[in-house]
């Protein structure tokens, strides 16, 4: 065999190996890039509305909720923000935020519980610090007419992880997305 044939043979094998590595790497990268990812259960969005007559003296007050959570019981990560204004006066009844500690999803319904990390509630004419209190949100993702309900530990509601209530308040604006 001539030196040229030996050289070409070595280059050919090396070139073939490099080409295969490139193709395999590209194919693997392309496959990994297009593979569907399953982030697991999640709840995201924001919505609000006005409290109904069921809420007594707070009827007509505007409320707004923002929730971002993913994972399941024991692996949940997320945050929430809550605003409750005083209808007619422009005042604030409560405003707080915190971390979601548990998320449970079944179909179009999600229950998320968490702990307030910062905020206050003015239910007795004084701004009470509600940091450290537990909260619970139940969301029914019903297209553009979502429903929500909540429980506040600072209102003497006993709250356990992933414990919720019937979502009875229909939101007037915004949208939540629940993914099982």
**With 70 as the cut, is the pLDDT of residue 13 above it?**
no
What's residue 19's pLDDT? 39
Give the pLDDT mean for 137-154.
93
What's residue 126's pLDDT? 72
d(CA 77, CA 164): 18
DSSP strand pairing (62-70 vs 77-85): antiparallel
**With 70 as the cut, is the pLDDT of residue 8 above it?**
no
Residue 28 pLDDT grade (very low, low, confident, very high; cuts 50, 70, 90): very low
From the CA atom positions of the chain, what is the Rg in Å? 27
**With 70 as the cut, is the pLDDT of residue 33 above it?**
no
What's residue 31's pLDDT? 41
Q: What is the mean pLDDT of the chain?
A: 83
What's residue 12's pLDDT? 46
d(CA 40, CA 77): 12
- The answer to whether 92 and 83 have CB atoms below 8 angstroms apart is yes
Q: Does the predicted TM-score (pTM) go above 0.85? A: no
Residue 87 pLDDT grade (very low, low, confident, very high; cuts 50, 70, 90): confident
Residue 37 pLDDT grade (very low, low, confident, very high; cuts 50, 70, 90): low
What's residue 132's pLDDT? 95
């Amino acid at each position: 065999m001539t030196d040229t044939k030996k050289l070409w043979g070595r280059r050919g094998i090396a070139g073939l190996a490099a080409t295969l590595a490139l193709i395999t790497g590209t194919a693997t990268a392309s496959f990994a890039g297009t593979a569907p990812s399953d982030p697991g259960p999640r709840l995201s969005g924001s919505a609000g509305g006005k409290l109904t007559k069921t809420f007594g003296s707070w009827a007509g007050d505007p409320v707004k909720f923002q929730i971002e959570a993913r994972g399941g019981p024991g692996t949940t990560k997320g945050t929430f923000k809550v605003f409750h204004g005083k209808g007619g006066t422009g005042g604030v009844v409560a405003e707080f935020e915190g971390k979601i500690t548990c998320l449970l999803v079944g179909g179009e319904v999600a229950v998320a519980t968490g702990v307030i990390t910062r905020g206050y509630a003015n239910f007795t004419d004084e701004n009470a610090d509600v940091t450290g209190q537990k909260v619970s949100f139940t969301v029914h993702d019903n297209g553009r007419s979502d429903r929500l309900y909540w429980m506040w530990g600072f209102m003497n509601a006993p709250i356990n992880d992933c414990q919720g209530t019937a979502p009875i308040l229909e939101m007037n604006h915004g949208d939540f997305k629940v993914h099982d």
